[in-house]
Amino acid sequence: MRPLEDLRIVSLEQYGAGPFGSMHLAELGAEVIKVEDPSVGGDVGRTVPPYDEDGDSLFFQSFNRDKSSITLDIRTPEGREVFEDLVRTSDAVYSNLRGDVPEKLGIRYADLKEVNPRIVCCSLTGFGMTGPRSAEPGYDYVLQALGGWMSLTGEPGGAPQKTGLSLVDYCGGYVAAIALLAAIHAARRDGAGTDCDLSLYDTAISLLTYPGTWHLTAGYEPTRTRHSAHPSLVPFQAFEAADGWLVVGCAKEKFWHRLTEVIGRPDLAADPRYATFADRNRNRDTLLRLLEEIFRTRTVADWLAPLYAASIPCAPIKDVADAMTDPHTLERELIAETPHPAFGTVRSLRSAVRVGPPGADREPTRGAPPMGADTDRVLRELGYDNDKIAALREAGVLGRG
């Protein structure tokens, strides 16, 4: 058995952050029943371009493997009845909606505890269910702006920039998954469920980590750094070589001493201006100008060989295509292949979460489901007969068709 095969999660999720979090749980064996509202065409992620076709998209496939999908309008009395039947047989209700929506939909613990006293109601919202912004929609780009991230990203003097990936969304999904598992553990121990009030805003702020601590405690003012340099460890940044770019990082003093040998300048290790982390940080401008000139004299490959040999942290700066074909990516079985009627074989990225001994084979994975593909099966498991299902469909509760 996979670790979470005894978990059932009813999920009112959409787009990226929520589906990303629950997909890890599904890959670990949890039954994630994705409830899609037929009146709005289901999860909006199904229509994200440029690769969208027939009510599905490669974006949707990236976040929804191993799940089940049912169509259900829980705002109708009949749909609410079905939803509560699902809640009776589940461990958690999981959602990523605007902060004021869980109360409106009646999916908080206070709304569902009479249906199932052990239910966990996990809500990942933009700004949380309290606070002055709780009713505002939250998107990764917005949160990177509000959370200070964009002020730290990019070259000095340039425009503020977001990270290349939607990291607030994805980290928020991880946060929600951790909270959900912790709450289910407590519910099984104590016999009572609870709410989990999580937000992308909280995630973005908490991920400021040590620059935030430095600012709050010592008045540090974070700034953008040239070539993605670490704010205090020098050298630790991107360097331009003769034919491309590489990252070199001296996170320990021993790496700095080794680097001076590799670049043919052992005298720099003895120079009092560069003797310690603090010295190099104070004199970073002169040191980095010198190092940048040296790194431009050889190719990336010519530098990597001696740097690897000296066990100095380093890497070529690859593009996505190179990262997908890296032997380590393949050896770690990070690429999933699933069949799809419109896209042929979908190749997507598997969860980084693993449970089991090193080198253990990955469990098989299923492609993201067509909208409503599991509606009849799930309802029959709840005890609904064909007539009842047909009546719900005729009433529009499950959508038509």
Q: Are residues 291 and 191 in the same domain?
A: no
Query: Could you give the number of structural domains in the chain?
Result: 2
In a domain? residue 130? yes
In a domain? residue 212? no
In a domain? residue 326? no
- What's the pLDDT at 401? 55
In a domain? residue 214? no
Q: Are residues 178 and 135 in the same domain?
A: yes
Q: Are residues 309 and 165 in the same domain?
A: no
Q: Are residues 47 and 125 in the same domain?
A: yes
Q: For residue 122, what are the β-bridge partners?
A: 94, 196
In a domain? residue 323? no
Q: Are residues 200 and 262 in the same domain?
A: no
CA separation for the pair 2, 142 (Å, rounded): 37
Q: Are residues 249 and 361 in the same domain?
A: no
Which residue numbers are catalytic? 169
- Find where tokens 């991107």 sit: 238
CA separation for the pair 347, 351 (Å, rounded): 13
- pLDDT tens, position by position, for the chain (401 residues)? 899 999 999 999 999 999 999 999 999 999 999 999 999 999 999 999 999 998 999 999 999 999 999 999 999 999 999 999 999 999 999 999 999 999 999 999 999 999 999 999 999 999 999 999 999 999 999 999 999 999 999 999 999 999 999 999 999 999 999 999 999 999 999 999 999 999 999 999 999 999 999 999 999 999 999 999 999 999 999 999 999 999 999 999 999 999 999 999 999 999 999 999 999 999 999 999 999 999 999 999 999 999 999 999 999 999 999 999 999 999 999 999 999 999 999 999 999 999 999 988 888 999 999 999 999 999 999 999 999 999 999 999 998 75
- Find where tokens 């009845």 sit: 81
**Region of residue 344 (phi > 0: left; psi between -120 and 50: alpha; otherwise: beta):** left
Identify the domain containing residue 272 by its residue range: 227-317
Which of 258, 288, 317 is where one domain is finished?
317
The residue type found at 266 is: P
Which of 264, 283, 317 is where one domain is finished?
317
Residue 349 phi/psi, 5-degree rounding, is -95, 130
In a domain? residue 105? yes
For residue 354, what is the domain's CATH number? 3.40.50.10540
Q: Are residues 104 and 147 in the same domain?
A: yes
Q: Are residues 303 and 369 in the same domain?
A: no
The residue type found at 204 is: A
In a domain? residue 399? no
For residue 258, what is the domain's CATH number? 3.30.1540.10
Which of 250, 284, 317 is where one domain is finished?
317
Q: Are residues 31 and 168 in the same domain?
A: yes
Alpha-carbon distances, residue 26 vs 21, 46, 127, 258, 365 (angstroms): 9, 19, 25, 45, 9
In a domain? residue 34? yes
Q: Are residues 383 and 261 in the same domain?
A: no
Q: Are residues 277 and 188 in the same domain?
A: no
Q: Are residues 311 and 341 in the same domain?
A: no
248-252 long-range CB contacts below 8 Å, 24 or more apart?
248/295, 248/303, 248/307, 248/312, 248/313, 248/314, 249/312, 249/313, 249/314, 250/312, 250/313, 251/313
